[in-house]
Each structure stands twice: as structure tokens, then as C-alpha cells.
Structure 1
Amino acid sequence: MADSRPAAPQPLPLAERRDEDLPGHWLLARLGKRVLRPGGLELTTRLLAAARLGGADVVELGPGLGRTATDIVAAGPRSYVGVDDTAAATENVRAVVAPIGGSVVVANAAKTGLPADSADVVIGEAMLTMQGDKAKRAIVAEAFRVLRPGGRYAIHELGLTPDDIDQDAKDEIRRDMSRAIKVNARPLTTAEWTQLLTDAGFEVATVDHAPMALLNPARVLADEGPLGVLCIVGNLIRRPGARRRVIGMRRTFGRYRDKLTAVAVVGVVPQP
């Protein structure tokens, strides 16, 4: 007998969703924000330096609109492959990496389809935070598989502090963050981020931090520049729904400012 149940409704493409319904990072991108990392451009710059990109075969997981890809290309890698499951974003990244013959594949970060031992560096920023525990481990395991011995896995994620923060506080922060940004955010402490990598077989080479100040005016100016700020402010004035969302996100980040941080970790695949 044919199944008569109605098909489950498919979510609207990101470009068609209302400001009120977009995940927080895509809302900020729609408003003109290009740097969408918890530690801002400053921490990304230090992370890329620690990852040693010059002459390397680089894979970026979740490149988004290509802001970090721009900096990766400037560092002179031998090759670049981006892996993103949002097809709408990939054209931007392809344009950024075209000068070095880079490519982008539409795939899940946990199942990239890339050959084993094919990369010197895997980079992922602000994407593990949005995954549950099982998905986090699957993505880290995939990074380990793709990397050659001696390869570096560089992550930049939202962190909780201190390392001994109690579970009730963790749960409260995660719940309120998820409501504000409309994504199931699950940040970890620095100790938990490093443990995630070591459990997959990595040796932790560097750990770095920066304040989590994504919507702080001074950080926005440093990351986006004066013209970028004017663009964002203009869009906020014209889009009241977006303005309410951003105010809500900023209020949530402010409420937990003493318990939030940005964490950058580089793990290395051991040599045989």
C-alpha cells in the first residue's frame, strides 16, 4: 500500500528565510558582516600562522562566505579545497580561491569524500561549536583521516571558562545561546576542546585565546573597517526584525561575558 502520509515540509532556502528565522551567523552575513568568528580576525590570524600554510595542501571545513579563505590564499598554500554543505555559499568561495586553482566541494564535514592522507592542514572555524557531541567527534575523526602524518588540524571555536565550570551553568549558557542564535550551540571548555582532539589521536601543539566579543563595537570596527560598519548599521536601521535579533544576541553574549571565550587549537597527527 502506498504511503499516504504527507511529506515533511522542507526548510526554506537560507536566501528566502525571514531575518527573524535565520541562524545567527547567516543573519549577520546578510547584514554585511564578513568576520563571523568568536575571536575575530585577530585570533584567526594567529591560528593561521600557527598552522603554517605556506606551501601546504589545505582543506577548509565550512568556509562559509570565504573570509578566511582569502587569508589562506594570501599565505601561499600549494593547494586549497573547501568543504561546505551549503551549496549557496560555495560560489563565493570558488571565486576567492580561483587564483590558486582552488576548489570547493559540497559535502558534509564528517564525510568529505577526500582521499586519506591528502592534506597538510585542515582548518575549521566556528563550526564544531554548532554540532552535538557525536557530530563533533565524527568531524574531528575525518580531519585526522584526511591529514598526512605531521599534518595540522587548526580550529577556532567558542569556549566556556573556567575549565571547572559546573554543568548547570553550561546547560544554561547553551540553552540561552541556542535560543538567541537559533542554532544548537554547544561550546566546550578549553580542556574539553583539547581532549576532543587528543581522543581522535592528535597531539596538541598550540592553544590560544581571545575575548569572545563578536558584537562588541570595537571588535566589529577592527574586523570590518569603517565602511563595513556603515553597511551593517544601515542594514540594521532598515531591517527592524534583524535589529531585534542582533540586540537579543548581543544581550545574551553580554550576560555571559565572564564565562565565554574564543579558543584556537592546533593539533598535529603524530609521525609514525
Structure 2
Amino acid sequence: MLAALGSLKGAKVVEMAPGTGTTTEAIMAQEPHSYIGVERDSSATAHLGRVLGVRGSMRAGDAAATGLDAGAADVVVGEALLTMQSDSSKDAILTEVARLLRVGGSYAMHELALTPDELGDDVKQEIRRSLARPLKVNARPLTPREWTELLARHGLTVQHVETAPMALLEPRRVLSDEGFLGAARLAFNILTDSAARHRVLEMRGVFRTHSDSLTAIALIARRQERT
């Protein structure tokens, strides 16, 4: 996703819900002009504030109402943010994204997608129900075409689409994403927490069962002039 954006050097970046800060670190390595992370989780806000130091800032807030100035960002980044939202919440967040971006600015998103575009409604509903059980929320992934159309309704024109197999909870992927120590901590937490272990295994089962219809997707969209 970040590679498709191109260089962020000198850019004004806003990241929605940065969480543990893995993407934040990759963004900061490119020396943006400024970085603001918007996060509802106060513990994550404090942690990332310490990581950023004087190079950027964190603020507690909602992705649908950041309180930042209109046109404040050259780039807005959001990962694993929209899939877990209802249709109305998706619209509210994207309205805020479009407000924050200057004309010509880019929105980079990384989410779950359903595939192919012609996937039947009955299969979509079954996958959404299956995801809702372990996630405890009504996750609503969209097809690539539906994601593109949703962004277009908010004045965001897709420039780049890329998909990848859904390997989020596979051991090799966890080790790659988290490193040895991070993977070890995650494994310890799962082994010692039966409820967490059940949820993780159930979610991985959903990903495997629906591997032909679930994919990871990254999209880069550009904010157009409002008409």
C-alpha cells in the first residue's frame, strides 16, 4: 500500500486508527513533513506519542470526526478500519477523509474484500455472518468494485488496486509481521487465554474456509475537486 503511494517525504500525513504503530513506523521512515495519528484507544495514543516524540503527534479522536482542519492532509492512511463498520459509519468516515484531504491528495486503505465482483449475495451474507461470530461485530467487507464505487461517491477516484491472499493469522505471516518476539508474545497470550485462543482459531477457520472468496485489498484513491 505504502509503496503504491510513492514517496511520503515532505507530505502532510494523517493516519486513522494507527493501533500498535507498525504502519506509523514505516510512514515516519520516509520523513514526512508532518504526521498526525487519530486514535480512540487512549493506551495506543500514549504509546505512539512516546514512539513519535517530536517528529509527529497523536490525538484522541474518532475517524468520523477528527477535529482537524479541512484540507490539512496530503495523504490520509487507514488500515483495517472500514471493514468493521456499518454502511452508515463507512460513509461518515469517508466524508471526513475527503474533508481532510487537499484537492489531489491521496487516501490509502488496506481492508478485507470479497471476490470476485460477481459473488452472489447469499455467499456474501454467509461470510459476513461467519466473520461476525469471532469478531463480535458485523464486519462488512465489500468486493473490489464495491469499494471503488463507495470511494467514488465521496469524490475519491481509485488510482491503484492490489489484492493478496488472506493469510493474516497464518503462523508464517504472523512471524513476518510481528518478528520473533512479537510472535512469541502473541503465541503466549493465545495459549494462556482460552477465550482469545477460541476466537483466533475460529477466525482463522473462517479465513481458510472462505479462502476463495476472501482477500486482502489495498486501494489508493485521489481526492477530486468538489462539484
**TM-score for both structures, normalised by structure 2:** 0.94
Percentage of matched positions with identical amino acids: 50
- Whether 2:210 is the aligned partner of 1:256: answer yes
Partner of 1:116: 70
Contact 2:105 2:222 in 1 (8 A): yes
Q: Find 1:91's aligned residue among 20, 23, 46.
A: 46
Contact 1:154 1:266 in 2 (8 A): yes
Amino acid at match of 2:34: S
Unaligned residue ranges in structure 2 (runs of 5+): none
Mean Cα deviation higher: 131-140 or 89-98: 89-98
* Count of residue correspondences: 225
Amino acid at match of 1:151: G
Secondary structure of 1:208's match?
strand
- Whether 2:79 is the aligned partner of 1:79: answer no
- Alpha-carbon distance in structure 1 between the residues aligned to 2:16 and 2:151: 16
Contact 1:128 1:136 in 2 (8 A): yes
Mean Cα deviation higher: 47-56 or 166-175: 47-56
Secondary structure of 1:128's match?
coil
Contact 1:131 1:185 in 2 (8 A): yes
**TM-score for both structures, normalised by structure 1:** 0.79
Amino acid at match of 2:174: V
Amino acid at match of 2:152: T
- Alpha-carbon distance in structure 2 between the residues aligned to 1:184 and 1:94: 31
Runs of 4+ in 1 over 3 A off after TM superposition: none
Mean Cα deviation higher: 88-97 or 221-230: 221-230
Q: Find 1:244's aligned residue among 198, 202, 225.
A: 198
- Alpha-carbon distance in structure 1 between the residues aligned to 2:50 and 2:43: 13
Partner of 1:209: 163
Q: Find 1:265's aligned residue among 193, 199, 219.
A: 219
Give the Å deviation of 1:229: 2.4
Q: Give the 5 Å matches for 1:91-240.
A: 91-100=46-55, 102-240=56-194
- Alpha-carbon distance in structure 2 between the residues aligned to 1:226 and 1:108: 32
Contact 2:18 2:38 in 1 (8 A): yes
Secondary structure of 1:251's match?
helix
Secondary structure of 1:129's match?
coil
- Alpha-carbon distance in structure 2 between the residues aligned to 1:84 and 1:233: 26
Q: Find 2:22's aligned residue among 67, 78, 82.
A: 67
Q: Name the larger-Rg structure.
A: 1
Q: What RMSD, in angstroms, separates the aligned Cα atoms of the two structures? A: 1.4
Secondary structure of 2:119's match?
coil
